[in-house]
Amino acid sequence: MTETPKRVAIMLDLQWPYKRHASTFAGTQQFAKEHGWHSIIDEFAHDTLPARPGHPVPYDGVIARANHELADRAKRLGIPVVNMWASSPVWNKLPGVFPDFDASGKLKAEHLLSRGLSNFAAMTAFKNRGERIEVAQFRNMIEQRGYECIVANSPQSLSRSLDHWRRTKQLVEAWMDRWQLPIGVMIGGENLGRLVVQMCHERGWRVPQDVAIIAGQNEENLCENPRPSITSMEFKYERIGYQCAKLLQHLMDGGDPPKQALSLPPLGLVIRESTDFHAVKDELVAAALDYISRNSHRNIGQHDVSRAVNAETRTLQLRFRKFLDSPIATEIRRVRIERAKRELAQSDRRIEQVARDVGFKTANRMCEIFRRELGVTPTDYRRERQINGKP
């Protein structure tokens, strides 16, 4: 006898221009196809479900940006719900799958600190719980290094009306008035990031030389255009959707809910022009860092870097240790690792090809360095960031 397909409601408040919405939905549908679900897009599933037991229940489970009414009705009916909205008013009352915003905030701080900056600022939407978590971790990392971070809040929607837009700009102006350049800035969303870039230009500030910016969750159209392109965090939201569906299947099969929400780590930063800068007071070191950034994919070593900037290797090594507290080789290796991580996360190219193209001579050499520096192999690093990888 053929098993009746599971009927699953998809209530995600889908706003299709946003990659995080479309990608989450795509992840749920990949799992649905693999397991023969009958998916129903129902943005008002909280109303579709009967208010009390005793009436026909149209769904076996729900994946949702969950609200109070959905949580209450589903509980009364015994219908499993998986929440994928970190800012949900019931985020701590339902099984959920969210991006790991703690990890994201840490990565953003580490990246801006690696640019040699000592001034920092952050702005996030006050009502966005995920962004608040991210900023808290970002600020914590900055303060652990002995620096201060100027934090401000913005509205969730920037352009609801002309008056709203003007008030938003006034908030940003007041925040920027407190900056000391050069500065590393973390911004919650790409729209706000674009506004800040524009306002920097109006003040005659250069991006990234005066203001290095990380913004949003890699909505490519906003991040890449207009120039300068903006560095952003990639979460690979297909994984969020897939893991939501996987968890819902577990619950529909009678499994126990996890004790806490699942947090999926980001794939990593997509580094673009807005942070392609090293705030190093020493011009010789700055020139060497620029050369490494542009040539790390080639077979270069410390002597090549020294020749490129017309310096003795010993002199340059001493400057690196003074201003960066690390040798030349460490910076070359760091840049190669970052490029390898992006390639592994964002492409399906063979490990051997990635290793060669980012500057490691062999896959074995890249594997050795990944194990030592990151504690995982390149293959494991990629697998963790696949749609159906482990949470």
DSSP per-residue letters across 279-329: --S-HHHHHHHHHHHHHTTSS--HHHHHHHTT--HHHHHHHHHHHTSS-HH
pLDDT at site 97: 97
Model confidence band, residue 14 (pLDDT cutoffs 50, 70, 90): low
> What one-letter code names the amino acid at 244?
C
Model confidence band, residue 389 (pLDDT cutoffs 50, 70, 90): very low
Beta strands at 149-154 and 120-125: parallel, antiparallel or unpaired: parallel
Domains annotated for the chain, with CATH where assigned, are 7-99+237-267 (3.40.50.2300), 101-234+270-275 (3.40.50.2300), 283-383 (1.10.10.60)
pLDDT at site 36: 93
The widest CA-to-CA distance across the chain, in whole angstroms, is 83
Q: Is 21 helix (H, G, I), strand (E, B) or coil?
A: helix
Residue 275: Cβ within 10 Å count: 27
Distance CA 111, CA 276 (A): 11
244-258 confidence digits (pLDDT tens): 999 999 999 999 999
Residue 273: Cβ within 10 Å count: 16
Model confidence band, residue 26 (pLDDT cutoffs 50, 70, 90): very high
Rounded average pLDDT over 91-107: 95
Q: What average pLDDT does the chain have?
A: 89
> What one-letter code names the amino acid at 120?
F
Q: Is the pLDDT of residue 17 over 80?
A: no
Q: Is 379 helix (H, G, I), strand (E, B) or coil?
A: helix
196-215 confidence digits (pLDDT tens): 999 999 999 999 989 999 99
Distance CA 337, CA 90 (A): 39
Assess whether the previous peptide bond of 56 is cis (omega < 30° from 0). no
**What radius of gyration do the chain's Cα atoms show?**
24
Model confidence band, residue 382 (pLDDT cutoffs 50, 70, 90): confident
Rounded average pLDDT over 331-347: 84
Distance CA 313, CA 288 (A): 11
Q: Is the pLDDT of residue 384 over 50?
A: yes
pTM, entire model? 0.78
Q: Is the pLDDT of residue 44 over 60?
A: yes
Residue 14 φ/ψ, nearest 5 degrees: -65, 125
